[in-house]
Amino acid sequence: MPALVNYGDDDDFYSGGSFYTKSSDLGRLCSISSQLDVYYPPHKRARIGAPFLFGETEVEHNKQPSIDVLPDECLFEIFKRIPGGRERSSCACASKHWLMLMTSIRKGEYESSKVVKENISSSSDDVETISSGEADGYLSRCLEGKKATDMRLAAAAVGASGHGGLGKLSIRGSSSSCGVTNFGLSAIARGCPSLKVLCLWNVPHVGDDGLSEIAKECHSLEKLDLCQCPSVSNKGLIAIAENCPNLTALSIESCPKIGNEGLHAIGKLCPQLHAISIKDCPLVGDHGVSSLLSSSSSVLSKVKLQGLSITDFSLAVIGHYGKSVTNLVLSGLQNETEKGFWVMGNAQGLQKLVSLMITSCCGVTDVSLEAIGKVCINLKQMCLRRCFFVSGDGLVAFAKSAGSLECLQLEECNRVTQAGIIGVLSNCGLKSLTIVRCMGFKDISLGAPLSSPCNSLKSLSIRNCPGFGTVSLALVGKLCPQLQYIDLSGLCGITDAGLLPLLQNCEAGLLKVNLSGCLNLTNEIILALTKIHGATLEMLNLDGCRRITDASLVAIADNCVFLSDLDVSRCAITDAGVAALSHAEQLHLQVLSFSGCSGVTNKSLTFLKKLGKTLMGLNLLQCNSISTQTVDLLMESLWRCDILF
């Protein structure tokens, strides 16, 4: 310091020239020398305070290095070299800007984990685990409502890219303000090229650009489901057809811009398409439907057409070219006539058809139904809903023609009568018969003698048919001695006398019985049921049978061995009935319902705890005589049981 500071009496600085010409250099010197002891006389104020800082040096000293100053091109190159999915996810969490950059990187543009492993001497186990599953694409995501946003899709694309990407993505509804758009779908396309299943439901902001990006990147797409996508048109569907040759299933519903052109491309360019479903698309007509089926490479096995403006021409094409069709659903086809369905049956093409469901089609008549039965020799399942021109005679003719028929379901077919059902049971080997809301039944005795019994019928379901009463039930019971499943819910007209012959004729032993809403049944029939079938009965539903009392529960407790599901909701049950059930040592109930039983009170707590040793579900809804405190005690004791209260 002698060269810099004068220790003379004048106490002045050294008067010679400075060693440094730049003020910045002097600042650096002062910064270093500020750590030294410098002499200041007491009668003079220090001329320079420590530490010595100058403006230029302060800026340089406080300026922190940041990766954000790099342009996006540099960040893009850096992110491409991130080795594993965990590291990529961490970077994506740093900021929205980084997330957007990472979603712009296609999965194939990342440096492979194999190269990273060669360049890095010590490779972590995490990287090896991630790299081993990069081609799987087994992950699935489902975003609904407010959770369906572009940011969530972008994050899912980045996060799943290191684990093989998403294999299945479902988006169900989105917010109008910040919902899913083409950007989010594009992020998925770039990050998840292994995507195989895509479902878009009620996403109005996703259009052709987003779907085209999926088609461009996701060549392995196998299933596509579009529902209420008003912005998707033929352009997007054509892009899928041109780039996704492995497409096997396509479902389109309420897409007003998709028409014949898009379906023509699908039929021409997707040779592996096995299932097609089209509903409420006004632009789809005969040309689009025929293009799907008439293609030389068509292997369609499942066809579902609902609410379309197609004519008899489409039905003729289905009947002629549908040689691979096994499942056919036709619903709400108002422009079809009897001739169209007749031609569909006589075209000899639907010989492999196994399941046929027809709903609200005025062209289905007795004549056309018989024609279908003659050709569809392998038909096993038939469902007719709201086919108002089908009568009992037509059903009998159909049953005689369709020799392989096993399951028949009729719903709101009001011209079907008791005689028709008896004729069907007598002329085919049905295994299951379901009749729902058919108003043509009249509970009268038939004058003609009964035909041979239907020993093949195992399941009988007759629901909410007000004309089906005691006489009709007794006739059916005599014809079906091998029944195991009975559902007679909503038949207010049947009585103990009508049900008893059916119970007595069931030789195989009943397994499941549903008598909910049968208001006229009493304890006597339950006693007979448990005595005859108590050794086999597994499920019994007496919901709404208001004449059923504790005596029925006593009979159940005494005679039922394998009963696991019991519903006595809205019956005249009291604590005594619950006690009787709890004392049955052989019972192992898993599901028990006392909903609406006001006679069950807090006194049943002990009995319910005993029953709860095997219970998985207990319904105490609207049991007004049971307090909240009692339910809390039950929940503490029956921690394995789901309790509704």
| DSSP, residue by residue, 355-366 | EEEEES-TT--H
Residue given tokens 């006597």 in the structure block: 524
- Cα distance between residue 160 and residue 503, in whole Å: 58
Residues in the chain: 645
Report yes or no: 370 and 394 within 8 Å, Cβ to Cβ.
yes
Residue given tokens 């990407």 in the structure block: 165
The total number of structural domains in the chain stands at 2
Kindly state whether residue 177 falls inside one of the protein's structural domains: no
What one-character-per-residue DSSP string does 352-398 give? T--EEEEES-TT--HHHHHHHHHH-TT--EEEEES-TT--HHHHHHH
What is the chain's Cα-based Rg?
39
What's the gap between Cα 43 and its chain centre?
A: 89
Average pLDDT over all residues of the chain: 83
Kindly state whether residue 610 falls inside one of the protein's structural domains: yes
By DSSP bridging, strand 642-644 and strand 617-619 are: parallel
Kindly state whether residue 587 falls inside one of the protein's structural domains: yes
pLDDT of residue 6: 42
pLDDT of residue 124: 38
- Residues with Cβ < 8 Å from 2, sequence gap 6 or more? none
CATH number, domain with residue 630: 3.80.10.10
- pLDDT (tens digit per residue) in 362-417: 999 999 999 999 999 999 999 999 999 999 999 999 999 998 999 999 999 999 99
- Cα distance between residue 203 and residue 183, in whole Å: 13
Query: Going along 14-91, which residue ranges are E strands?
Result: none
pLDDT of residue 314: 96
pLDDT of residue 179: 83
Domain that holds residue 76: 69-104
- Cα distance between residue 420 and residue 385, in whole Å: 16
Task: Supply the angle between the helices 150-161 and 182-191 in degrees, to the nearest 10.
Answer: 0
- pLDDT (tens digit per residue) in 414-428: 999 988 998 898 888
pLDDT of residue 92: 60
Kindly state whether residue 241 falls inside one of the protein's structural domains: no
Coil, helix or strand for 291? Answer: helix
- Cα distance between residue 418 and residue 469, in whole Å: 10
The residue out of 58, 85, 104 marking a domain boundary is: 104
pLDDT of residue 621: 95
- Cα distance between residue 218 and residue 108, in whole Å: 12
Kindly state whether residue 582 falls inside one of the protein's structural domains: yes
Question: Which residues, listed in sequence order, are joined to residue 599 by a DSSP beta bridge?
Answer: 574
- pLDDT (tens digit per residue) in 32-89: 344 444 444 444 444 444 444 444 444 444 555 566 666 666 665 666 666 656 666 6
pLDDT of residue 126: 38
Kindly state whether residue 134 falls inside one of the protein's structural domains: no
pLDDT of residue 426: 85
Both structure tokens of 396: 């009998």
- Cα distance between residue 583 and residue 498, in whole Å: 32
The residue out of 81, 104, 127 marking a domain boundary is: 104
pLDDT of residue 133: 37
Q: For the chain, which ranges sit under pLDDT 50?
A: 1-61, 112-135
pLDDT of residue 345: 92
pLDDT of residue 8: 43
CA distance readout (Å), 622 to 578, 591, 637 = 16, 17, 21
Kindly state whether residue 618 falls inside one of the protein's structural domains: yes
The residue out of 56, 87, 104 marking a domain boundary is: 104
Report yes or no: 422 and 444 within 8 Å, Cβ to Cβ.
no
- Residues with Cβ < 8 Å from 119, sequence gap 6 or more? none
Kindly state whether residue 581 falls inside one of the protein's structural domains: yes
pLDDT of residue 137: 56
pLDDT of residue 173: 84
